[in-house]
Every structure is written in structure tokens, then in C-alpha cells.
Structure 1
Amino acid sequence: MDDTLATDVAPTVLPPAPGADRYRSLDFADTAATLPAGQSYDLLAAPESAMRWLAVHDLTTPDVQLYEVCAQRMRTLRGHIRALFAARVTATTPPEESLRAVNEALTAVPTAPLLAWDGAQGLRRIQAHPTDQAVNHALATLAADAADLLTGPDAGILAACGSAPCDRFLLRTHGRRHWCSTRCGDRVRAARAYARRSGASG
């Protein structure tokens, strides 16, 4: 994605959904969104924008170059994580291929910091990020984060945005309300107000 396109897209990108600050996998799932009037965006659509997303979320280093095949792997894993989130929200059986894809990402590389030794600092834990394994580590970290969300105490408050056509996920933080952003909430309230006015005038 070039700078011109990034500038054109930026105004339509929604702010992070509730819970995205606690789960990077939630923000990862929401890197693509459907907006009203046939609009949409995909923050992983090109290697450059996918690289920026990884860097902002501390999942890679600035010196790592991302290629289209890696961006495609990110988009594929995102689709599987979204399928698992959707299954959790709707209380349906998750797709077997999505479970398999997340498990493959989980086991591809060690996600725990490794034990290392050097003469100056002695024993310490380091996160291994060899350049050729950087995307594998990022995907493994996101898969682990998604698994933690789906099996942890916050799984019960995972929700889909209730403002069609938005298809983002969030963690419900205020009772039953489940909108991913103020913009989506305003759209729901405006639609309800219009429906009331229409009903009253009819």
C-alpha cells in the first residue's frame, strides 16, 4: 500500500474495538471490516500495511521485510481466527479447518521466551525472532492469544458488533451493549430514532 492509498483509507478505519487493548488477536481479527454504503477496508491487504500492523503491535522488528506470501498467510490465519470467534459468539461448532490452522500456527515455533546466556548479562530470557522466522513467531503469538481469549474468562463477553453491516468483534464492557465503536453505536441509535418517528407518523 503506498502512502497515497494509506492516506485515502485512514479516515474510514474504525478505532480499536473494546478489548483490543487486552487481546492482540481481537485487533488482528478486526483488521478487515465492512462499513455502510458498500465501503470496507483491510489493513493486511498489502505487505507494507501488514508490516506496519505487526510493528505497531510489537510482533516484529522494523528491519524485517514482509512479502505478499507472508501477508497472505496473515490474512488466512485472520480468517480462521474470525471463524472461531464467530462460532464462539453464536455457540456453534467451530470449523475443523480453523481449529487445525490455529493449532498449526501455535506449534510452528516456540512462543515462550527462551533461556539464553552471555558473558555480560548471564542467564536471561529472550524472545527469539530470527528474521526468517519473524512471521511464524508473529502468527504463533496471535494464535496463542486467540486461544487464550476463546478459553479464558473473557470468552463469555466476546461479541460481534450489533450494528450492521459492521462485522467486527469486541469484548462487551457495558452490559448488553455490543457496538465496536461510537460510530456504530450512533448509527444504531439513529436508526432506532428514525424507526420510532416513522412509526409515530404512520
Structure 2
Amino acid sequence: MRDSMTTDVHLALDLVLTVRHDGDGGVVDDLAEPGGLTGWVRAHPEVLAGAERYVADVDGLAGVRDLRTAVRTLFAHAVRPAEPSPADAARLLPLPEALRRLNDAARTPTVPVLEWPDGHGPVVRRRPVPDGGPDLTAVLAQAAIAFLAGPDRERLRACHAPRCVRYFLKEHPRQEWCKPSCGNRARVARHHERRRRSG
């Protein structure tokens, strides 16, 4: 299970990165079908207890995809005034709708629990309903909220290399792209554009 801010950051980014370029100018959705979500959850055992046994259904997939759309909209908002990922430019939700979807998905039923530490008075705390914890969509939404409200949000960028649709965390001041291969593609594209203009 998740237990740290670092996990929240990676989980939120990994969810968003299930939309990626296919290398030929198109976009691939790793969550296009329930089997894609099943594989994604099993590859991320920190998401849920029993992730190795998780099997997605159509409703669960729809919930995660709706959440991902909201999170990608909020990532696009977070990188402003820079441009969002090209995959999002025409598909962004209105900000209030994205926030509503994220917050609704993050809800987890809780129950009051009485604690009475030695030397202190009784305290009521809320804990998740004891049925195995929150569902997948709630876990992912809570990770996205923790990331968006945390300090790493300031390092979030959209990669604008040709054909890339990824978001990434800027690791050093000169970093402009999500990975070296995107930097190479961007330099080659700029070189070709300069030659075209001068020729």
C-alpha cells in the first residue's frame, strides 16, 4: 500500500502517463480496455493490497479513465503559463469539473473510532470502513491530490518534443524534455526547421 509522498508523486504521474505517444505521431491509451487496467495495477503493487489478484471490470475502468481525464486537466492547469501536453490541448475539462471529479473520486467511507491514550482524554478519529480499505479510484485520486497539493507540483512540466505527450518532473534547471530521446528529437526538428527556412 502507499505510505509516502514519493509514492503519491510517482503514482499520480504513472496514471497520467498511461496516455503516451506511439512513436509515429499518434497517441496510445494503455487503459483502453479492462485488461490494460488489470495489467497496470498488477505492475504497481503499491496501489492496492492484493494488487496481484486485481481484475478490472468495465465500471472500474470507466471510473479510472474519468479520473485520469480530470488529473490530466489539473496537470495542464499546473504547468501554466506553459502549454499543456499536446494530447490534452483539445480535451481539457473546465477546471471546476476536473476538481469535482477528482474530489468525488477521492471519497472513502469512514467510521468514527474512539482512542483513549494513557494520560489523555478520549479522542474520536475517522478511519476507512474496515472492508479492505479504499477502492482503486479513491487511492489514485488521493495520490493525485497529495501530489497536486505538494511541493513537487512546482517541478511539473509538459514535454514539447515532437510527438511526445508526457508530463514529467523537472530534475535540474536545464532540463527541457522528459527524457534524452525527446531532447534529441527536438534538436533534430529545430535543425530541419532552420535548414528549411534558410534553403
TM-score by length of 2: 0.70
Pairing 1:39-54 to 2, within 5 Å after superposition = 39-54=26-41
Tell me, in whole angstroms, the C-alpha distance in 2 between the residues paired with 1:52 and 1:195: 40
Three-state SS of the structure 2 residue aligned to 1:98 is helix
- Tell me what 1:89 maps to: 79
- Give the aligned CA root-mean-square deviation in angstroms: 3.1
Is this contact kept in 1: 2:9–2:143, CA < 8 A?
no
The count of residues paired between Structure 1 and Structure 2 equals 166
The answer to whether structure 1 residue 157 and structure 2 residue 146 are counterparts is: no
Alignment of 1:1-202 (within 5 A): 22-35=9-22, 37-58=24-45, 59-60=47-48, 61-91=51-81, 95-109=95-109, 130=132, 137-199=135-197, 202=199
Distance 1:48 1:94 in 2: 30
* Aligned residue in 2 for 1:9: none
d(CA) in 1 for partners of 2:29, 2:54: 21
Letter in 1 for 2:19: A
Going by fraction, where is helix more abundant, 1 or 2? 1
CA change 1:44–1:109 in 2 (3 A) is: farther
| Percentage identity across paired residues of the two chains | 32
Whether the 8 Å contact between 2:107 and 2:138 is mirrored in structure 1 is: yes
C-alpha separation between the residues in 2 aligned to 1:21 and 1:176?
25
> SS at 2:173's partner residue?
coil
Cα offset, 1:151, TM superposition: 1.6
TM-score (structure 1 length as normaliser): 0.69
Tell me, which stretches of 5 or more residues in structure 1 are unaligned? Answer: 1-18, 116-124
Structure 2 unmatched runs, 5+: 1-5, 83-92, 116-126
Superposition deviation, residue 64 in structure 1: 2.8
- Contact 2:17/2:166 (CA < 8 Å) preserved in 1? yes
Q: Secondary structure at the match of 1:159?
A: strand
Q: Residue 73 of structure 1 aligns to which amino acid in structure 2?
A: G
